Structure 1
Amino acid sequence: MGQKVAGTAYIKVDGMQLTVTGGAEAPLSDKKRETVYPGFFKEEPLAPYLKMTVLHTPDLTIKTLTEGKDMTITCEFNNGKVYVLSGAYMVDEPVSKGDDGSIELQFDGIKGVWQ
């Protein structure tokens, strides 16, 4: 029997529903490990984040996205898993693409929790 593990993600930024065209991406861990010698590793903190591609719809409030500094972002993946990013703010340089109406967004935050 097959199980659905992928598909549409549902994302809300401070209650505003975004129309997601592609997938969404969230880290599984809050740390990054790197091997320095077989059996030995170093560990660094990894900032929690959410990446996604959304449509630039007429009801998309750009000001909320660009000026928010303490947002709560909820991402519900189609497999039923939910990731909540708190203390979120937009990073990088998002642009609206005229050819397909999409915007690639990345939000970093203070805390990311899988529920």
Structure 2
Amino acid sequence: MSRIAGTTYFKIDGDQLSLTGGIEVPLNTLIRDDVIGLDGSIDTKETFKAPYIKGTFKVPKDFPVDKVTTAMSMTATAELANGMVYVLREAWLSGETPFNAEEGTADLEFHGKTGFFQ
């Protein structure tokens, strides 16, 4: 039996941040959708999605808020429990980033110019 889920390590420019769960990386960034004609013909269209890493992070007092919220060219690495490593290059924080003070966490989504599995 092999491990496919569990402990995950996340780093931005070498600084490790702690996740509480919910890490997600894309398996693909080329999205194919159906285009179905009224005559029953089926074709496809392709769109691209930015590579990303998103998760729920613990936010201790020394959390690098300034770096995470202002940097535009970070390298983010997610070492997943199943042994896969996803690397996001030229990354930035995407969208709103509310801090949940009751839980001490923030849901963060990083997008980048390139993303790949090592």
TM-score, normalized by length of structure 1?
A: 0.94
Structure with bigger gyration radius = 2
Offset of residue 53 of structure 1: 0.4
Counterpart in 2 of 1:11? 10
Q: RMSD of the TM alignment (CA)?
A: 1.1
1:33 equivalent to 2:32? Answer yes
Residue deviations 1:22-48, cap 9 Å, x none? Answer: 131111112111011264211011110
Structure 1 residue runs without a partner (length 5+): none
Number of equivalenced pairs: 114
Distance 1:73 1:4 in 2: 23
3-state DSSP of counterpart to 2:26: coil
Query: Matches of 1:23 and 1:97 in 2, distance apart?
Result: 15
Tell me, yes or no, if structure 1 residue 94 matches structure 2 residue 93.
Answer: no
Offset, 1:11: 0.4
Deviations, residues 68-87 of structure 1 (Å, cap 9, x unaligned): 10000000001110000001
Give the deviation of 1:3 after TM superposition: 1.6
**TM-score, scaled relative to structure 2:** 0.92
Match of 1:66 in 2: 69
| 1:103 aligned onto 2:106 | yes
* Aligned 8 A contact 1:7 1:23 in 2: no
Identity %: 39
Partner of 1:112: 115
User: What is the rounded CA distance, in whole Å, between the counterparts of 2:67 and 2:32 in structure 1?
Assistant: 34
Runs of 4 or more off by more than 3 Å in structure 1? Answer: none
